[in-house]
Amino acid sequence: MRNWAGNVTYRARRVHEPATHDELRAIVAKAANLRALGSRHTFNHLADADELVSVRGLPADVVLEDHCVTCNAGLTYGELAQHLDGRAALHNLASLPHISVGGAIATGTHGSGTGNLATAVRALQLVTSTGDVVEARRGEPDFDGMVVHLGRLGVVTRVTLDTEPHYEVTQRVFEGLSWEHVPDVFDAAYSVSVFTRLKGVDMVWLKARGTPPDTLFDATAATVERHPIMELDPVNCTRQLGVPGPWWDRLPHFRMGFTPSKGDELQAEYLLPREHAAAAIDALRALTLPGLLVCELRTVAADELWMSPMYGRDTFAVHFTFEPGPVPLDAIETALAPLQPRAHPGKLYLEPGRYDRSAEFSALAERLDSRGAFASSSSTSGDSGGGSAFT
């Protein structure tokens, strides 16, 4: 079995799909080396092990109460949005709604503007390697170490997320922005993405809770809908041109039910302190990256989750999408090295960067995973680079 991108072949001898929590607990307690399998949108071996287990077969059991929603961690964000539609909303979504809630939280996956998706977690339920069920709530001593858990602590079965009242979002695209204005555009709307192939700014996507601005420095408003990769048909993308729609159908770039992004692609991402945005842009503009389809620039708010790439600092996110084949990770990491980058744990990378609470996280893993069942049993990488340094 392969991952979403096809660059990783899982070594797992068996994939378990339990239908009940008791069945799941028995599987976890017996396995010598195990990882939870989500929507397979990880581009390295972080989610690989001798055995894999999916929680998608467990009951969805979506419960909405007290300004939060509790659900099976195996649901995708698109599926969860269908349960919430018109009744409640989440604070943000990633570029594609096809990814699982549990997997996105485990890796600190994010959208733009606000905190990453894991910051919405109010509580979680975890099955440890002894088959015991552990529950943690925001404010408890281990909670900040358990949310972005990288699959190392156990199998998360249920999560509780903060919600807010339903809202609508309006999306507008601008083209041809000058480089000098890029550091200043990220406060122009609720969610902002800058798309570039490094020689110029192709597009800026503004997602506004309300009415987006009619102008954006020296950029020109697009008169037709766009795909983040300029040459591709935007039919799979969420509506633009100032047409309002529900939060779940505007905050992502891509629509449920369609192939997201290009499909066959490889991704890498680095998270830097936001104050280094201008220096990062200068470093990127000097690069020539063969196979680059698009580079997306975003900002993400700081958080206190130990293994979050945004821990302790407002963040400038630099995301790369490449054609299948060799990915020039060395050139990228060399250029960004002076700017304190942290690699997104679910993407391709060579060096993960400095995670300030990693020693405490390792101690937590040793305590919760007393058998070592969720530890990495081999050092492996994707076909185009990227290792398992986080495990």
Whether residues 339 and 241 share a domain: the answer is yes
Whether residues 161 and 187 share a domain: the answer is no
Looking at residue 224, what is its pLDDT?
A: 97
Instruction: Say if 295 falls within a structural domain.
Output: yes
What are 194's two structure tokens?
């800058």
Looking at residue 251, what is its pLDDT?
A: 96
Domain count, the chain: 2
Residue 292: C-alpha distances to residues 30, 65, 226, 237, 289 (Å): 44, 44, 18, 20, 6
Looking at residue 379, what is its pLDDT?
A: 41
The region that residue 356 occupies, defined by phi over 0 for left and psi between -120 and 50 for alpha, beta otherwise, is alpha
Whether residues 210 and 289 share a domain: the answer is yes
CATH number at residue 251: 3.30.70.2520
Whether residues 137 and 80 share a domain: the answer is yes
Looking at residue 256, what is its pLDDT?
A: 81
Looking at residue 257, what is its pLDDT?
A: 74
Looking at residue 380, what is its pLDDT?
A: 43
Query: Which amino acid is located at 189 in the chain?
Result: A
User: Taking a C-beta distance cutoff of 8 angstroms, is the pair 80, 101 a contact?
Assistant: yes
CATH number at residue 91: 3.30.465.10
Whether residues 96 and 199 share a domain: the answer is no
Q: How confident is the chain (391 residues) per 10-residue block, as mean pLDDT?
A: 91 95 97 94 94 95 96 96 94 93 96 96 97 97 97 97 97 97 96 96 96 94 95 92 95 83 86 97 96 97 98 98 96 98 97 96 96 74 59 57
Whether residues 145 and 215 share a domain: the answer is no
Whether residues 196 and 320 share a domain: the answer is yes
CA atoms within 13 A on the CB side of 372: 3
Vertex 297: Cα angle to 295 and 303 (nearest 5): 135
Alpha carbon dihedral 179, 91, 160, 67, in 10-degree steps, equals: 160
Query: Which amino acid is located at 382 in the chain?
Result: G
Instruction: Say if 9 falls within a structural domain.
Output: no
Instruction: Say if 153 falls within a structural domain.
Output: yes
Instruction: Say if 260 falls within a structural domain.
Output: yes
**DSSP alpha helices (H): ranges in the chain?**
21-30, 77-84, 101-106, 143-146, 277-285, 329-336, 358-368
Instruction: Say if 65 falls within a structural domain.
Output: yes
Looking at residue 181, what is its pLDDT?
A: 96
Which structural domain, as residue segments, surrounds residue 333?
A: 168-343
User: Taking a C-beta distance cutoff of 8 angstroms, is the pair 102, 73 a contact?
Assistant: yes
Q: What is the dihedral sign for C-alpha 4, 353, 105, 127?
A: positive
Whether residues 245 and 278 share a domain: the answer is yes
Q: Label the pairing between strands 34-36 and 51-53.
A: parallel
Looking at residue 259, what is its pLDDT?
A: 66
Instruction: Say if 11 falls within a structural domain.
Output: no
Whether residues 147 and 180 share a domain: the answer is no
